[in-house]
Chains A and B, each alone.
Chain A
Amino acid sequence: MWDWNFAVEVFPEIASALRITISATFAGFVLALVLGLFLTMMRRSDKVIISKGTQGFIEFIRNTPLLVQLYFIFYVFPEFGLSLSPFAAGVIGLGLHYSTYLSEVYRSGIDAVPQGQWEVGTALNFKKGQVWRKIIIPQAIPPVIPVLGNYLLTMFKETPLLSAITLVEILQTAKIIGSRSFRYLEAFTIVGILFLVLSYPSSLLIQRLDVILNRR
């Protein structure tokens, strides 16, 4: 049954692995933000082969498991001479997988900008880059920030998958403790509680942010 002494004893060890979990989450998120933007732009390309190709790529990534993609990056890339550390492979996997989701978010933000705003750019004789930077992006991105925040949380909750490619984050730490002591209940429960304690308040915060940003 539940052993409080044991739980207290292993808590610091698990909590200290949180650092790896959180840095993988943020690194992956930054990568996803950048890659997602590229995918959005490529999907809007005038060249049908690029836009259709990007769309196919997005659909493929979204319909296959992140775990398999992680294995692919970690085991197949070295065959082509690109060996990655578990952390780097994990960040690339997370970033790539969620960039396809974020590109949809950007797209919805951009589609919500009224057509007239593009025409304003033409009327002001702006260059294409200027229209994007000065007119479209400032209107398209703020409304979707809460959605981006939700994906940050989703990514945080997906990081335990990185344990499968031998990254020692919190779940892997708990598993090591479990196999060492044959007591899984406390270790896994602590991991669950840590996730809940970090993600539930964050999701409430994002809901508040949504109300503030989308108040018109």
Chain B
Amino acid sequence: MNAVSIIELITSLLSGLRVTVTVAFFGIVLAFFLSFAAGFGRLSKYKIVRVVATVYAEVIRGTSLLVQLFWIYFALPIIGIRLSAMMAGILALGLNGGAYGSEVVRSSINSIPVGQTEASIALNLTPRRRMWRIILPQAFVQMLPGFGNLQIEILKGTALVSLITLGDLTYRANVLNASTMQTTTIFVILLAMYYLIAWPLTRGVEALEKKMKVGRY
């Protein structure tokens, strides 16, 4: 068998890279929205909202991402909901990330000193303005490290979609491995590629953190 050059291996992995980046991007966006929805939900003054948000977060955090992914992809069709592998992957990653993210949002908001709330009441701000102008800008800075980690977790989670036959990086690498048998080279490239995607994510969050901390304690 002829050895396939490294360049050729990388080019054939690139189509998988696109899928990985797409799933990661939409998964992160969905997780971000769900984090805020569930995080605020857990702080709501209405008991029913608190219960729903808490049950969502605890059930998702108590089970495993791969089980959730398989459940959405293989079990949901039985009750009539059929999703494409891509949709199932984004949904599972988003739901999972949102559950962990809700904890980030909740704890950051709770960590803002109560004096801030009292001051805004004294200044006669409406509850909405109090949250939007006083609490959230301070809480958001504290959320950044948590969200940074969450992004990396979601990116790593995208590798699981290969197990529901979505052609992401990991899936392509497995296919390539079966056809070329250049196991070591392929998996070294694969690990390096994931590291290279994660790199700008970590650095991006760090830079944002630095920028938002300017003028704050």
Chain A residues proximal to chain B, CB less than 8 Å: 1, 60, 62-69, 71-72, 75-76, 79, 157-161, 163-164, 171, 174-175, 178, 183-185, 188-189, 191-192, 195-196, 199-200, 203
Contacts and interface: CB of A to CB of B under 8 A. Distances in A.
Given A72-B191, A192-B63, A184 B183 contact: no
Contact of A191 (B67, B79, B194): B67
Contact of B198 (A64, A200, A203): A64
Nearest to B192: A64
Interface stretch (B87-95, B135-143, B156-164): B156-164
Contact of A196 (B59, B157, B158, B195): B59
B115 interface: no
A16 B212 CA distance: 52
Contact of A189 (B71, B190, B202): B71
A77 to B, nearest CB: 10
28 contacts: A1-B78, A63-B152, A63-B156, A63-B195, A64-B191, A64-B198, A65-B155, A68-B159, A68-B173, A68-B187, A72-B187, A76-B187, A157-B64, A158-B64, A164-B163, A171-B64, A184-B75, A185-B75, A188-B70, A188-B71, A188-B75, A189-B75, A192-B63, A195-B62, A196-B59, A200-B58, A200-B62, A203-B61
The A contact surface, by secondary structure, is helix
B64 A184 contact: no
Nearest to B190: A68
Contacts of A1: 78-79
B21 interface: no
B195 A71 contact: no
A183 B75 CA distance: 8
A199 B64 CA distance: 10
Shortest 9 CB-CB contacts between residues of A and residues of B: A65-B159, A63-B198, A184-B74, A157-B64, A65-B156, A160-B66, A196-B62, A185-B75, A67-B159
Contacts, number: 108
B66 A64 contact: no
A64 B78 CA distance: 34
Given A157-B63, A164-B163, A188-B74, 13 more contacts: A65-B159, A65-B170, A67-B163, A69-B191, A160-B66, A160-B67, A171-B66, A171-B67, A178-B74, A184-B74, A184-B78, A189-B75, A199-B63
Contacts of A75: 177, 183, 187
A189 B10 CA distance: 39
A166 to B, nearest CB: 12
B68 interface: yes
Nearest to A63: B198
Contact of B183 (A65, A79, A189): A79
Contacts of B173: 68, 71
A189 B163 CA distance: 18
A216 to B, nearest CB: 20
Contact of B79 (A67, A178, A185): A185
B3 to A, nearest CB: 14
Contacts of B63: 157, 192, 195-196, 199
B132 interface: no
